[in-house]
Chains A and B, each alone.
Chain A
Amino acid sequence: MTSTEHRPLPSLASVCRTRAGVELKEFFRQRESVVFTLFFPVILLLALGAILDYDLGSGVDFPQYFMAGIIAVGIFGASLQNMAIHIAGERSDGTLKSLSGTPMPKSAYFIGKVVQVLAVAVATIVILLLIGVFVYGIDLPTGTDWLTFAWVAVLGAAACTLLGITVSTLARNSRSASATVTPIALVLEFISGVFLPFDQVPTWLQTIASLFPLKWMAQGLRSVFLPDELALREPAGSFELGRVALVLGIWCVVGLVLCVRTFRWQDRGED
């Protein structure tokens, strides 16, 4: 009975591996989450690619323009929407409370979530790129554009993951999280230059969009997928990569602070 007292606790790395496995199974086995998160941007790409057809000049057609925005939407869905909805669900059904009563290191839970977000985001991006290349013949990024692609995606996913975890704490359950986050995401997508060129969005809506990370992710990714001449169609006359990094970085810090200060392992009880 006392033999347990000297057994070492499982290492953080081994518990993280367990949590990562749990998170991947939880996501990829749930049909709703796979369809909603993974295939939503794919369906949008196929549907809008079939409907919309315009020429932005410099040989850029709609799919080439849309690729940046739809990848931003995919990352946003895999991180912010996914985290907000599923963590709210885990909190309201008692999963989080159960976990907090075990010796699982709390950091392992969040690392598991990060692995899930990365896996879903990478899967989404790969599928979107494959469709882009084989269905619409878009031009893939070249050279250092891949590097820009990587840091914009990682920084954007990090900011949106932290914000998603924060939003999950504000929601009462996964249904209310979904009902809150989904329409907000749609509005942001419309005003952030995802579906139509950002210079066609009214200035006051551009200003609102500039407060949120989605606009900056889409803008950073446009620099990856569009020729440099099209930078002139951006409101600032350039893709402002420095400012993209700055704003996404600020959102990471804000998201982290909000996360740490608000996260709860159980529903608000009577207190």
Chain B
Amino acid sequence: MTRTPAATVPGAVHPTTPLDPDAAISVRGLVKRYGDRNAVDGVDLDIRRGEIFALLGPNGAGKTTTVEVLEGHRQRDGGEVRVLGVDPATGGRRWKSDIGIVLQSGAGDSQLSCLELLRAQAAYFPDPRDPAEVLDLVGLTEKAGSRGRTLSGGQRRRLDVALGIVGRPRLLFLDEPTTGFDPEARRQFWSLIRSLRELGTTMLLTTHYLDEAEELADRVGVIARGRLVEVAVPAELGGRGSAPAVVHWTEDGARRSAETATPTAFVAGLAARFPGEVPDLAVARPSLEDVYLRMIGEPA
């Protein structure tokens, strides 16, 4: 197997850097094979404590596989991994009590009420949160006595998050937490994640929603075909921060546009040419979606 040097990945940690024992998550050269295909093909990553990190990528890119290795749900085929300083392949009960996992599939079809489920889950952990307080935090207090099957999709997912945080985790994994949500439910969910950030929880979030990553994450890693292709803060992904801006306006009845590295100066010049408002003025930078599609190799 030949690997191109990962040093070419913008923003990513260099593969020869030693594992960071103080990081929440530290990964070097992670490989996971299914048959003769490398689902994860050499990922290097450090996630700081207290950070919200979003792993972004299309279906089948290796997001979920990567996260499952970090959670201890899957064995890796190569590379080194430390999660809260421990190799997940050997993580015991003590390690698991510091971790919360919200799986893609979510909680099963239980006969227990929301509060009973949370109480049972809390009983596995050494220092759990109060189940009633957790229900309140996720906005399900009035559903405390209801069984899971009577909840809406968004409420089910909030119950999943409640189950993930009741053990007072220092690190929370969220695998595609808002898939299938309506916009209103997603906004409510985002504010829940922000309130968890206030509590100091480190979070690793996978999503294929760009707005979600932009809204929540301190940093974003884009994964495509099993490899990280860039790690950056959302505003700078794909060189967005320094990409030329495009200025649009209308002059002499025609729609005009110009690409410029200094949009402020350009607009000031335009303003001097018009007596009042510049007609239909707009300044645009490449959207996160534009740079994302370019990175994962889809035509924009």
Contacts and interface: CB of A to CB of B under 8 A. Distances in A.
Interface string B162-176: 010001101000000
Contacts of B35: 270
Given A101-B71, A101-B72, A103-B94, A4 B127 contact: yes
A100 B97 contact: no
B155 interface: no
B74 A269 contact: yes
Interface stretch (A72-80, A90-98, A124-132, A139-147): A90-98
Contacts, number: 91
Interface residues of B, number: 36
B120 A18 contact: yes
A253 B106 CA distance: 35
A105 B124 CA distance: 8
B96 interface: yes
A10 B98 CA distance: 14
B146 interface: no
A133 interface: no
Contacts of A29: 111
Given A18-B123, A90-B108, A101 B200 contact: no
A173 B286 CA distance: 47
Interface in B110-139: 110-112, 116, 120-121, 123-127
B274 interface: no
Interface stretch (A19-27, A50-58, A155-163, A218-226): A19-27
Interface in A1-31: 1, 3-4, 7-10, 14-15, 18-19, 21-22, 25-26, 29-30
Given A101-B73, A103-B96, A95 B108 contact: yes
B72 A102 contact: no
Interface of B is mostly: loop
B246 interface: no
B127 A97 contact: no
Interface string A111-149: 000000000000000000000000000000000000000
Contact of B93 (A9, A19, A90, A271): A9
Given A21-B120, A95-B108, A102 B127 contact: no
A95 B170 contact: no
Interface of A: 1, 3-4, 7-10, 14-15, 18-19, 21-22, 25-26, 29-30, 89-90, 93-95, 97-98, 100-105, 266, 269-271
Interface of B: 34-35, 39, 71-74, 93-94, 96-99, 101, 103, 105-112, 116, 120-121, 123-127, 163, 167-168, 170, 200
